[in-house]
Chains A and B, each alone.
Chain A
């Protein structure tokens, strides 16, 4: 089955760190650019970061630049998001999404909830 499954979310204190994972299956993972997108009730969907097929080209939203690091392990078919210096504004559902070409997402995971609170 073609799918993306996120994990690693949870409750973390302000200033803390968390690493999210996104396991891909059913397709050739190393052929796709991958993204992280987060969602809150207040802001809706917000794009976070993108990584190219080889992991050498990385792009971040200004709101997470310098705090978040996107990476991938093509041997393990897994995408990661290392999140440091977390604040309340980072509380959200985090989705990983597949980007076949251009700038759209044809496959999304079910999301993992990150809550930043003391």
Chain B
């Protein structure tokens, strides 16, 4: 099964908002509300930012939000800050009872 499709890179200036898309199929993203998003800084382990499409774990800034429409999920970061510069990965449950990740998106804060 191919990875979910994410843009390779996105960028924005401090204070701006950006959106990262994550496109799958009806067998994964579109079929379940089990999309999650992870932030990864260089050399560090991934960190959960959004679970189950739009749930934000305790301790995660409310500048991070998630949504889904059809086979595409989105992560929006508002009020960009320098510390948001990182790689972002989406993940989804699949009809095969497996999980699948996106290829990752590198966020650059200009």
Contact = CB atoms under 8 A, between A and B. Distances in A.
B4 to A, nearest CB: 10
A110 B40 CA distance: 12
Interface stretch (B16-24, B67-75, B91-99): B91-99
A104 B45 contact: no
Contact of A106 (B40, B48, B92, B103): B48
B45 A44 contact: no
B75 to A, nearest CB: 13
A76 interface: no
Contact of A43 (B3, B97, B98): B3
A108 B51 CA distance: 14
Interface residues of B, number: 27
Interface string A46-57: 110010000000
Interface residues on A, range: 20 to 34
Mostly, the B contact residues are strand
Interface string B47-81: 11001100001000000000000000000000000
B99 A44 contact: no
Contacts of A35: 99
A108 B46 contact: yes
A110 B98 contact: no
A75 interface: no
22 contacts: A37-B101, A45-B38, A45-B40, A45-B46, A45-B101, A45-B104, A47-B91, A47-B100, A59-B97, A62-B1, A95-B45, A103-B34, A103-B91, A104-B34, A104-B48, A104-B52, A105-B36, A105-B46, A105-B91, A106-B51, A108-B46, A111-B45
Given A37-B101, A103-B36, A109-B45, 12 more contacts: A44-B101, A45-B89, A47-B100, A50-B98, A59-B98, A102-B34, A102-B52, A104-B52, A105-B36, A106-B57, A108-B46, A111-B45
